[in-house]
Chain A
């Protein structure tokens, strides 16, 4: 067994309560590392691609990594990997928190959960073993209340990841949450909910050894020092929300269900404006020196600690729904956190429904662009699956199929996953990244927007040369999600692959090189594709909704993306991938 690992995963059947530690070979660990890579490998071994993701037998993987528990900044991360109930394709969502450290201290490199508990339960893993306890008293409880309640019941030193009401109600974009962080995209919360598992509580004492602790300490200190520099200033000083005004300036801020790339009232939602009228605190994830969490106060009626503000939440619940009332948008974000809802898919689905209402195709006249009250009402209906919320809980693609009228042409999704806050016509390398993404439209598995915001391409007049850049960002993301390190560090590396190899050598003792890691990244991307192929993927899925391919942005006629261009980019992508 290499250093940095335990050399096994813990497989638990919550139908019976049985569990076993299953060995992981050195070869598998070296080929897939951990996190997303290891999770996909385990899913393939389990045959998950052909299963109904909400069926009892469908596996849900919590995958840790060799770096978890090390002093390397931002390494306290875990991946939740399953077949997505939203897309029917691979889904890997990552979160940063002490849950990762606690999970690895349970003496395993991953936890695989199958089965379905007889009643709503909490899965407890600690030094005494694995057990399933009733959790029926937490039915309908928010993620935060569940976590607090279970820590009070079990002990403050347990780390608890939970689902909210949305996960219990099998909302297809429900999250799994821990300590205010969320494995957000693709509906892993619904997968856990389908297993009747409200929460997982972990406490462990086992530590993996490092191959070269002295060298690891030196590398960690250097990385931490650099993480305080200009490369992360954006995250420290304003947070991701600062994208809002930048994207608006470039006509790339999705507005009113992608009908525009600018939002006249964007300034209302900007961190620059929010910080003039609200108190703000800044926090960090466990073992992180960046501190990107900017938590803003809500109105006087709020008794909580405020709300963590992220660009994706601001765009999805703000400009995408045409809502400029910052109090409504921040409350909507907080409500999503409480219910356990992915803010991007929630906002995308509601914005789509608002446009359908506008066209007279959904008979819910209250659900209008710009209404903060409607936004908040819709979120609660989704979380409880009441009224129109039962349909909206299915995500925009299924809503479009129910509504008809060729509304799929403007349902804001790829492979069923709602599109993040990057207008594809204004950021065309990102458009390619969205189209080919294994889990659907996704800014975390493709960093192609970085290419658009550079002098490598003309973001509105793309050529095939952009494809190799898009592939590079996708490969890099796959590696970072498998090692695992936070992508907000990416700017501090002069050559990420060389430094990544140094980190892995000091942790594992492997003679790993930068070139090997480049191959590892491609292997992981290919494994995701293999999963999707087994799940029924066809080339026709690698595209964008018609709206983006036949309508230039009204505020920027140069931001026009034809089907012919996108098809040629996708074909070139497949060719360069060797698929």
Chain B
């Protein structure tokens, strides 16, 4: 699936998007932590730190590592703290 980074995750990743293969959100986060070490500070095994959140296809915010993903999905990784 396609992964987009926004804000601090983008800053740390040094890229705005990439393609990753994973069947669940937990798998995806584990892969990101190993492929992009600067992101590992925000990922505990298969979960995001509480200050960050994932969104599926611009619709639903997701946090359960077991959330199934399919190849066509777009997963956004961003700061949960949206205030200004």
Asked if chains A and B come from one complex, the reply is yes
Q: Is A300 close to B, CB under 8 A?
A: no
Assuming the contacts A230-B49, A230-B51, A230-B52, asked whether A453 and B10 have C-beta atoms less than 8 A apart, the reply is no
Contact of B81 among A420, A452, A458, A491 (CB under 8 A): A491
Q: State whether B8 touches A243 (Cβ < 8 A).
A: no
Q: State whether A449 touches B7 (Cβ < 8 A).
A: no
**Which residues 15-64 in B have Cβ within 8 Å of A in the complex?**
41-42, 49-53, 55, 58-63
A–B Cβ pairs within 8 angstroms, 5 of them: A240-B84, A243-B83, A246-B82, A249-B58, A443-B83
Q: Is B3 close to A, CB under 8 A?
A: no
**Chain A residues within 8 Å of B, Cβ to Cβ:** 230-231, 233-234, 237-238, 240-243, 245-247, 249-251, 272, 310-312, 420-421, 443, 447, 449-450, 452-455, 458, 460, 487-488, 490-491
Chain A residues with CB under 8 A of B8: 233-234, 237-238, 242
Q: State whether B76 touches A249 (Cβ < 8 A).
A: yes
Q: State whether A242 touches B80 (Cβ < 8 A).
A: no
**Chain B residues within 8 Å of A, Cβ to Cβ:** 4, 6-8, 10-11, 41-42, 49-53, 55, 58-63, 76, 78-84
Which of B59, B79, B81 neighbours the largest number of chain A CB atoms within 10 Å of its CB?
B81
Q: What's the Cα separation between A421 and B84 when bound, in Å?
A: 9
Q: State whether A455 touches B51 (Cβ < 8 A).
A: no
Chain B residues with CB under 8 A of A249: 4, 6, 58, 76
Chain B residues with CB under 8 A of A230: 41-42, 49, 51-52
Q: State whether B79 touches A246 (Cβ < 8 A).
A: yes
Q: What's the Cα separation between A250 and B62 when bound, in Å?
A: 15
Beyond known contacts A230-B51, A460-B59: 4 more, CB 8 A cutoff = A231-B81, A242-B79, A249-B58, A452-B82
Q: What's the Cα separation between A251 and B51 when bound, in Å?
A: 21
Q: State whether B83 touches A272 (Cβ < 8 A).
A: no
Which of B41, B55, B62, B83 neighbours the largest number of chain A CB atoms within 10 Å of its CB?
B83
Q: What's the Cα separation between A272 and B14 when bound, in Å?
A: 11
Chain A residues with CB under 8 A of B81: 231, 234, 450, 488, 490-491
Q: What's the Cα separation between A234 and B82 when bound, in Å?
A: 9
Cβ of B55 to closest chain A Cβ, rounded Å = 8
Contact of B60 among A237, A240, A455 (CB under 8 A): A455
Q: State whether B79 touches A234 (Cβ < 8 A).
A: yes
Chain A residues with CB under 8 A of B59: 458, 460
Contact of A233 among B51, B53, B61 (CB under 8 A): B51
Residue on A nearest B54 in the bound complex, by CB:
A455
Chain B residues with CB under 8 A of A238: 7-8, 11
Q: State whether B82 touches A449 (Cβ < 8 A).
A: yes
